[in-house]
Amino acid sequence: MSPRSAEANEELRAQSRERILAAALEVFAEKGYHDATISDITARAGVSRGLLTYYFPGKQNLVDELLDRYLDGVTALVDVPGDPDERLAAVIDGAIATAAATVPVQRLTLSLVVNPATHPQFAAAEARKEARVAALEDGLRGLFAARGAEDPAVEEALLRSVLEGVIFKMAVYGDQFPAEPVRRRLYALYGLPAPHDDLLPAAPRPDRMRAARTASAPPAG
């Protein structure tokens, strides 16, 4: 039996890291950062504690990696070709599609951002990605300047606030959120041509959004 090649070993290590990160994301999303334990994560990942701590010495290291990836994804949204209208449409679509595909990531990030105990971790991740975050801001401001905006910085802040609100609603309400109608409303708001195709699969939704109750939640009233 021949020994594994260095390339095969590296692939196995990468797979182990990804399995651990996926498990951590699930556990953090379900239990929150403070209530999640390393034992929870190793059990979910099916790995030993020693292997987990070899790659990630503690919970904070896991969260740091997940937040770094989240910010990499956000800042990549502006790196699209085309004229200003095409790029703006791609930013809107990219934000909505990413939010729909990564709901657990969005929930984790929201919980870390708004919790005073963990907000510094998000701030530290943002500082590590300062160059990319600034490039995102400048890219959006340049896009709005090319579209003739009077104050591109305000337009950049407004767009990001709107899209972050959409992401928040999708994280909280999931399939109840009318993502496609909101997407088309944003196109109209910015004077973009109406999209030809739906971005997300059509799904029946209730007339009003309500947070899902857990089985143990008492009835209202």
Alpha helices in the chain (DSSP H): 6-31, 38-45, 49-55, 59-76, 84-101, 103-114, 119-128, 130-146, 152-173, 179-189
Structural domains of the chain sorted by starting position, each given as residue range(s) with its CATH number in brackets: 9-57 (1.10.10.60), 59-194 (1.10.357.10)
Cβ contacts of 46 within 8 Å, gap of 6 or more: 19
Q: What are phi and psi of 35, to 5 degrees?
A: -85, -20
- Lowest-confidence segment of 153-162, 176-185, 191-200, 207-216 by average pLDDT: 207-216
DSSP 8-state symbol, 209: -
Tokens encoding 210: 């309500």
Residue 65 DSSP one-character state: H
In the prediction, which pLDDT does 17 show?
A: 94
Measure CA 76 to chain center: 12
Look at residue 4 in the predicted model and tell me its pLDDT: 62
Tell me: the pLDDT tens digits for 12-45?
Answer: 889 999 999 999 988 988 888 889 999 999 999 9
- Reference 21, options 79, 61, 50, 49; nearest CA is 61
d(CA 95, CA 54): 34
Residue type at 151 in one-letter notation: D
- Sequence letter at residue 167: I
Each as own residue / partner, the long-range contacts of residues 29-34 (CB below 8 Å, 24 or more positions apart, any chain) are: 29/104, 29/105, 29/107, 29/108, 32/111, 33/59, 33/63, 33/108, 33/111, 33/112, 33/115, 33/118, 34/117, 34/118
pLDDT band at 193 (very low <50, low <70, confident <90, very high): very high
- pTM of the entire predicted model: 0.81
Cα separation, 112 vs 32, whole angstroms: 9
